């Protein structure tokens, strides 16, 4: 078996704002496996400034994996604890290689174009007019679950935008999720959550920066709206540490980003622990290209998840890889009449 890796730089159609800054480009890496008869591909979706494996030796590790591919998946996965995005890319590549079609990793009604998954429509941060224009576009496209980034512009403007939505649509018509990306302090979070709760918010993602377990636990215990942990899961290795985190914080939800938490294998462990504790969850992509998004979406479908998932990021780039993935009226589907155009 031969293994190689390559880098691909994705260009955003428009600069996308988060509480951590403005994103104009996104680096990603592909691992390709080849035998005489078949090939497989996986994406290592590391995100600068957020992934725990954003390290100077990242490409060195990729090369090491390619040089030692003969060790097999299990042995290599165990060597990659501190590189969850490479775990994800490698796991996907092995599944792809073993499949009859390298892009049909989890055959199902989804890949047969007979079923779809509901997703949320993402509104990026910006000034009030920019966010409102995005909102109008998502509503016109048929989304009934909207996820809005909060915490970067004036909080009163963000509340005004939420008020605009609720004046037009009830919670039964439009589900509202907000994502703070850790933008609130422990002191201000209770009052800000109370203000948000007035607009029938489904949940808030990561109101505090990670690694403030006691503060987050207190917030989750007394919150007026459900809290979902996102960045909090990044860099948490080992089953005992994962259990400790969930047992101390006791969140209402966790959000699974396979590229950040060790691929499907790592995500399954979080799901098992969450289910044992009656903690809800959903799956979100992490700005991968369509290679990674395809794998994550197909895998997510097999879980029979509840509610909209966060899998609508494939249209963000000018130079994404053409794929059969389609988003229509708030659902992601797979049009098997469309062809892939990928790195060969």
Alpha helix (H) ranges present in 198-289?
A: 213-222, 239-249, 263-276
Tokens of residue 325, six digits = 């993935």
Q: DSSP code of 321? A: P
- DSSP letters spanning 70-136: GG-HHHHHHTTTT-HHHHHHHHHHHHHHHSSSTT-SS-STTTTTS--EEBPEEE-B--HHHHHHHHH
Which residue among the candidates 26, 32, 61, 149 is catalytic per the annotation? 149
CA 80 – CA 84 distance, rounded (Å):
7
Handedness of CA 269, 308, 202, 51 (dihedral sign): positive
Identify whether 257 is a catalytic site residue: yes
The backbone region for 49, taken as left when phi is positive above 0, alpha when psi lies in -120 to 50, beta otherwise, is: left
Identify whether 329 is a catalytic site residue: no
Which residue among the candidates 32, 147, 192, 257 is catalytic per the annotation? 257
Beta bridge partners of 178: 148, 204
Handedness of CA 316, 318, 321, 322 (dihedral sign): positive
Q: Are the C-beta atoms of residues 272 and 286 closer than 8 Å to each other?
A: no
Give the catalytic positions in this structure.
149, 257
């Amino acid at each position: 078996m031969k293994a190689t890796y390559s880098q691909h730089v994705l260009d955003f159609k428009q600069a996308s704002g988060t509480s951590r800054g403005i994103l104009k480009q996104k680096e990603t890496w592909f691992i390709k496996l080849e035998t005489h008869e078949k090939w497989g591909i996986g994406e290592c979706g590391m995100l600068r400034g957020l992934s725990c494996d954003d390290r100077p030796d990242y490409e060195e590790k990729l090369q090491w994996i390619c040089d030692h591919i003969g060790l097999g998946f299990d042995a290599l996965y165990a060597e990659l604890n501190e590189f969850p995005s490479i775990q994800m890319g490698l796991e996907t590549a092995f599944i792809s290689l073993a499949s009859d079609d390298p892009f049909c990793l989890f055959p199902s009604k989804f890949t047969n174009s007979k079923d779809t998954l509901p997703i949320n429509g993402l509104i990026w941060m910006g000034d009030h007019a920019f966010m409102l224009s995005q909102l109008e576009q998502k509503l016109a496209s048929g989304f009934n679950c909207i996820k809005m980034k909060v915490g970067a512009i004036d909080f009163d403007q963000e509340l005004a935008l939420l008020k605009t939505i609720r004046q037009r649509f009830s919670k039964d018509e439009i589900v509202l999720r907000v994502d703070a990306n850790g933008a609130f302090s422990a002191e201000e979070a209770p009052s800000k959550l109370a203000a948000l709760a007035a607009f029938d918010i489904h949940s808030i993602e990561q109101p505090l920066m990670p690694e403030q377990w006691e503060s987050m636990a207190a917030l989750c215990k007394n919150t007026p709206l459900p809290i979902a942990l996102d960045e909090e899961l990044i860099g948490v290795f080992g089953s005992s540490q994962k259990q400790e985190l969930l047992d101390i914080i006791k969140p209402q939800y966790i959000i699974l980003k396979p590229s950040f938490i060790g691929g499907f294998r790592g995500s399954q462990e979080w799901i098992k622990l969450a289910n044992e504790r009656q903690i809800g969850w959903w799956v979100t992509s992490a700005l991968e290209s369509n290679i990674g998004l395809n794998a994550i979406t197909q895998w997510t479908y097999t879980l029979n998840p509840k509610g909209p998932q966060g899998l609508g990021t494939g249209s963000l780039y000018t130079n994404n890889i053409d794929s059969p993935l389609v988003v229509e009226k708030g659902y992601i589907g797979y049009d098997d009449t469309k062809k892939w155009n990928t790195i060969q």
